[in-house]
Chains A and B, each alone.
Chain A
Amino acid sequence: MGELHEKYLRMNKMPHIWCAGCGNGIIMGAFITAIDRLGYDKDEVAAVSGIGCSGRITGYLDFNTIHTTHGRALAFATGIKLTKPRLKVFVFMGDGDAVAIGGNHLIHACRRNLDMTAVIFNNHIYGMTGGQFSPTTFKNKSATTAPYGTTDPDFDIAQLCIGAGATYVARGTSYHARLLTDLIVKGAEHPGFSVIEVITHCPVNFGRRNNFESPAQMLLWQKEHGVAARKAKAMPLEDMEGKFTIGELYRSTEIPEYLEEYGRVIQAANEEKQP
Chain B
Amino acid sequence: MAEAKLLSGNDACVQGALAAGVRFFAGYPITPSTEIANAFARELPGRGGIFMQMEDEIASMGAIIGASCTGTKAVTATSGPGFSLMQENIGYAAVAEIPCVIINVMRYGPSTGLPTSPSQGDFMQTRWGPHGDHPVIVIAPYTAREAYRETGRAVNLSERYRVPVIVLMDEILGHLRERVEFRDEDLVQEINRKGPDPDSTFLPYEYTEDGVPPFANFGTGYRYHITGLIHDETGFPTNNPVEVDRIMRRVNEKIELHRRDIARTQFVEVDDADILVVAFGSVARSAHEAVRTLRQEGKAVGMVRPVTVWPFPDEDIRKAAAGKKAVIVPEMNLGQMVREVERVVAGTVPVHALNRIDGLLITPQEMRDLIEDIQ
**A interface vs B, CB < 8 Å?**
13, 42-44, 46, 48, 58-59, 62-69, 72, 74-84, 86-87, 104-105, 108, 262, 265-266, 268-270, 272-273
> Whose C-beta in chain B lies nearest to the C-beta of A270?
B46
Q: Is the CB of B223 within 8 A of A79?
A: no
| Between-chain CB contacts (< 8 Å), 15 pairs | A43-B223, A58-B225, A59-B227, A67-B227, A78-B52, A78-B62, A79-B24, A80-B66, A82-B24, A83-B24, A83-B67, A84-B218, A87-B70, A105-B59, A268-B45
Give chain A residues whose Cβ lies under 8 Å from the Cβ of B256.
none
Give chain A residues whose Cβ lies under 8 Å from the Cβ of B61.
75
Interface residue B228 (Cβ < 8 Å from any Cβ of A):
yes
Q: Is the CB of B218 within 8 A of A46?
A: yes
Interface residue B64 (Cβ < 8 Å from any Cβ of A):
yes
> Whose C-beta in chain B lies nearest to the C-beta of A62?
B223
Q: Mark B215-230, 1 if CB is under 8 A from A, else 0.
A: 0001111011111110
Q: Mark B48-79, 1 if CB is under 8 A from A, else 0.
A: 00101011101111111111111110100000
- Main secondary structure on chain B at its contact with chain A? mixed
Interface residue B8 (Cβ < 8 Å from any Cβ of A):
no
Chain B residues with a Cβ closer than 8 Å to the other chain, count: 43
Nearest chain B CB to A46 CB, angstrom units: 6
> Whose C-beta in chain A lies nearest to the C-beta of B229?
A67
Pick the contact of A13: B45, B67, B228, B236 (CB < 8 A): B236
Q: Is the CB of A59 within 8 A of B50?
A: no
Interface residue B196 (Cβ < 8 Å from any Cβ of A):
no
Interface residue B26 (Cβ < 8 Å from any Cβ of A):
yes
Q: Is the CB of B58 within 8 A of A75?
A: yes
Give chain B residues whose Cβ lies under 8 Å from the Cβ of A63.
223
User: Lowest 9 A-B CB distances belong to which pairs?
Assistant: A79-B66, A75-B62, A269-B46, A79-B67, A79-B63, A269-B45, A75-B59, A76-B66, A67-B227
11 A-B pairs besides A68-B228, A80-B218, A83-B50 with CB distance below 8 A are: A46-B219, A64-B219, A64-B223, A65-B223, A69-B228, A76-B66, A86-B219, A108-B59, A266-B45, A269-B45, A269-B46
Give chain B residues whose Cβ lies under 8 Å from the Cβ of A75.
54, 58-63, 66
Q: Is the CB of B236 within 8 A of A66?
A: no
Give chain A residues whose Cβ lies under 8 Å from the Cβ of B88.
69
Q: Is the CB of B219 within 8 A of A87?
A: yes
Nearest chain A CB to B356 CB, angstrom units: 37
Q: CA–CA, A44 to B228, complex, Å?
A: 23
Nearest chain A CB to B342 CB, angstrom units: 36
Give chain B residues whose Cβ lies under 8 Å from the Cβ of A268.
45
Q: CA–CA, A166 to B294, complex, Å?
A: 65
Nearest chain B CB to A105 CB, angstrom units: 6
> Whose C-beta in chain B lies nearest to the C-beta of A48?
B66
Interface residue B237 (Cβ < 8 Å from any Cβ of A):
yes
Q: Is the CB of B219 within 8 A of A65?
A: no
Given contact pairs A43-B219, A69-B89, A82 touches B52 in the complex (Cβ within 8 A): yes
Q: Is the CB of B59 within 8 A of A43?
A: no
Q: Is the CB of B224 within 8 A of A76?
A: no
Nearest chain B CB to A39 CB, angstrom units: 17
Q: CA–CA, A264 to B247, complex, Å?
A: 45
Q: Is the CB of B46 within 8 A of A273?
A: yes
Pick the contact of B226: A66, A78, A273 (CB < 8 A): A66
Nearest chain A CB to B343 CB, angstrom units: 32
Interface residue B280 (Cβ < 8 Å from any Cβ of A):
no
Q: CA–CA, A204 to B131, complex, Å?
A: 31
Give chain B residues whose Cβ lies under 8 Å from the Cβ of A273.
46
Give chain B residues whose Cβ lies under 8 Å from the Cβ of A83.
23-24, 50, 66-67, 70-72, 74
Nearest chain A CB to B102 CB, angstrom units: 14
Give chain B residues whose Cβ lies under 8 Å from the Cβ of A82.
24, 50, 52, 63, 67
Interface residue B92 (Cβ < 8 Å from any Cβ of A):
yes
Pick the contact of B237: A43, A59, A81 (CB < 8 A): A59
Q: Is the CB of B55 within 8 A of A65?
A: no
Give chain A residues whose Cβ lies under 8 Å from the Cβ of B26.
78-79
Q: Is the CB of A262 within 8 A of B228?
A: no
Give chain A residues whose Cβ lies under 8 Å from the Cβ of B218.
46, 64, 66, 80, 84, 87
Give chain B residues whose Cβ lies under 8 Å from the Cβ of A58.
225, 227
Give chain A residues whose Cβ lies under 8 Å from the Cβ of B92.
68-69
Given contact pairs A69-B89, A266-B45, A79 touches B221 in the complex (Cβ within 8 A): no
Q: CA–CA, A162 to B58, complex, Å?
A: 24
Q: CA–CA, A76 to B58, complex, Å?
A: 10
Pick the contact of B225: A65, A87, A105 (CB < 8 A): A65
Q: Is the CB of A59 within 8 A of B225?
A: yes
Q: Is the CB of A65 within 8 A of B224?
A: yes
Nearest chain A CB to B110 CB, angstrom units: 23
Q: CA–CA, A87 to B70, complex, Å?
A: 10
Q: CA–CA, A59 to B88, complex, Å?
A: 21
Q: Is the CB of B219 within 8 A of A84?
A: yes
Give chain B residues whose Cβ lies under 8 Å from the Cβ of A46.
218-219
Q: Is the CB of A72 within 8 A of B89?
A: yes
Give chain B residues whose Cβ lies under 8 Å from the Cβ of A105.
55, 59, 62
Give chain B residues whose Cβ lies under 8 Å from the Cβ of A80.
66-67, 69-70, 218
> Whose C-beta in chain B lies nearest to the C-beta of A71?
B58
Nearest chain B CB to A119 CB, angstrom units: 17
Q: Is the CB of A68 within 8 A of B225?
A: no
